[in-house]
């Protein structure tokens, strides 16, 4: 059987080159690209192409499509959480959140994750496979169609470690932000990483202009080694050095994620150590009360701990805020739905 090619992961220039091989002129490639951007899920929908041409394309290519398997809508806010599948075999989650400036979508980059962070539902369920650029695009297209809205901001904070799927993620970022594509402003896109240091240096060289979020979650190696195995490969000092480099080169503020776990990383001494290490860096700290995940035994920090952290960090000139929790009634944090799919 011939393996069909992934047409929606191609840049317009690549699509032009590919279709030139089957004697199609550039304007045809542009028409096809426009349909793909509009989110069609079959070649039959490309009504300005002849039937034989549509049939020919469908013998060579497939169009990735995120099918809605489950949809949960928050009653407290307008957060919507999706469980998508690709071909009924790959399952990932994504969340759409409404803010005053528009709709933000959190998408997945892998089915599962290899990184094994102890507090994370995705990490606990292991790794299945990388998503393609087209599968990342499809999550946005399906949600836009389903909700009749336009997504203006994207965060790569769903299932998976984006920098562990580097090439596909970069391709997705270029596609989703291109003028002839979905045209989402690159400054409205954030990528969150657990700290693959070599890839942070590579990312800086791409000159993309996205916001980098770094899941730090601990001020030192003792604590970080316990919760984030990646720290044994690149420790806190190496990670922060890469972050300083990234923010100095790009002149963009790094956003540090810090999930506060009761009695693990939320003491005043942790806040002081964090303040000392981040001092002088162009950055912001997002404090997140840890979401309880079955089997971890971790509990959310008390509100008083959050306030103390904000206060101590401010002495070091670091701004910190507690992230607003959206969709708390629908388990909006990722990894929890896919993990429970069969229950």
Secondary structure class of 142 (helix, strand, coil): helix
Which is closer to ligand SAH, CB of 184 or CB of 230?
A: 230
Tell the smallest beta-carbon distance from residue 29 to ligand SAH (Å).
34
Catalytic annotation, pick one of 93, 111, 135, 161: 93
Q: Per CB under 6 A, which region of 16-24, 56-64, 118-126, 276-284 contacts ligand SF4?
A: 118-126
Task: Check if 93 is active-site.
Answer: yes
CB 318 within 8 A of CB 275: yes
In the list 117, 214, 216, 313, the residue contacting ligand SF4 (rule: CB under 6 A) is 117
What are residue 115's phi and psi, to 5 degrees? -80, -20
- What is the pattern of x (binds ligand SF4, CB under 6 A) and - over residues 214-233? -x------------------
Work out what residue 65 binds among ligand SAH, ligand SF4, none; the CB cut-off runs from 5 to 8 Å by kind.
none
Distance of alpha carbon 189 from alpha carbon 140, whole angstroms:
13
Strand partners, 61: 5
The two structure tokens encoding residue 257:
């994620």
- Helix/strand/coil (H, E, C) string of 24-37? CCHHHHHHHHHHHH
CB nearer to ligand SAH: pick between 12 and 94: 94
- Cα–Cα nearest to 93, from 340, 311, 337, 324: 337
Q: For the segment 252-311, give every residue that binds ligand SF4 (CB under 6 A).
A: none
Whether 283 is a known active-site residue: answer no
- Nearer Cβ to ligand SAH (257/266): 257
d(CA 112, CA 186): 26
Given the structure tokens 């990184």, which residue do they identify? Answer: 115
Residues that bind ligand SF4 (CB under 6 A): 113, 115-117, 120, 122-123, 160-161, 194, 215
Q: Which residues does the annotation mark as catalytic?
A: 93, 334
């Amino acid at each position: 059987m011939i393996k069909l090619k992934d047409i929606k992961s191609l840049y317009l220039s690549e699509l032009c080159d590919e279709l030139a091989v089957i004697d199609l002129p550039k304007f045809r490639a542009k028409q096809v690209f426009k349909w793909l951007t509009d989110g069609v899920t079959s070649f039959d929908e490309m009504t300005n192409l002849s039937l034989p041409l549509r049939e020919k394309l469908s013998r060579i290519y497939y169009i990735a499509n995120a099918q809605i398997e489950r949809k949960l809508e928050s009653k407290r806010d307008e957060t919507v959480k999706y469980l998508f599948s690709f071909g009924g075999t790959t399952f990932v989650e994504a969340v759409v959140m409404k803010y005053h400036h528009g709709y933000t979508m959190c998408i997945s980059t892998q089915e599962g994750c290899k990184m094994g962070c102890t507090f994370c539902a995705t990490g606990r369920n292991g790794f299945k496979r990388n998503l393609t650029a087209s599968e990342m695009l499809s999550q946005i297209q399906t949600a836009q169609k389903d909700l009749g809205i336009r997504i203006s901001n994207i965060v790569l904070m769903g299932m998976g470690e984006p920098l562990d799927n580097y090439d596909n993620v970069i391709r997705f970022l270029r596609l989703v932000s291109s003028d002839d594509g979905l045209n989402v402003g690159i400054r409205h896109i954030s990528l969150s990483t657990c700290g693959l240091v070599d890839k942070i240096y590579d990312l800086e060289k791409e000159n993309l202009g996205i916001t980098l979020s770094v899941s730090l979650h601990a001020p030192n190696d003792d604590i970080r080694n316990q919760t984030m195995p990646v720290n044994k490969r690149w420790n806190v000092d190496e990670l922060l050095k890469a972050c300083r480099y990234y923010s100095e080169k790009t002149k963009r503020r790094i956003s540090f994620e810090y999930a506060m776990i009761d009695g693990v990383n939320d003491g005043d001494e942790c806040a002081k150590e964090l303040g000392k290490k981040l001092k002088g860096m162009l950055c912001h700290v997002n404090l997140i009360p840890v979401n309880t995940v079955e089997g971890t035994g971790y509990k959310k920090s008390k509100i008083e701990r959050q306030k103390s952290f904000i206060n101590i960090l401010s002495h070091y000139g670091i701004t910190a805020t507690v992230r607003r929790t959206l969709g708390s009634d629908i388990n909006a944090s990722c990894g929890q739905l896919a993990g429970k799919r069969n229950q």
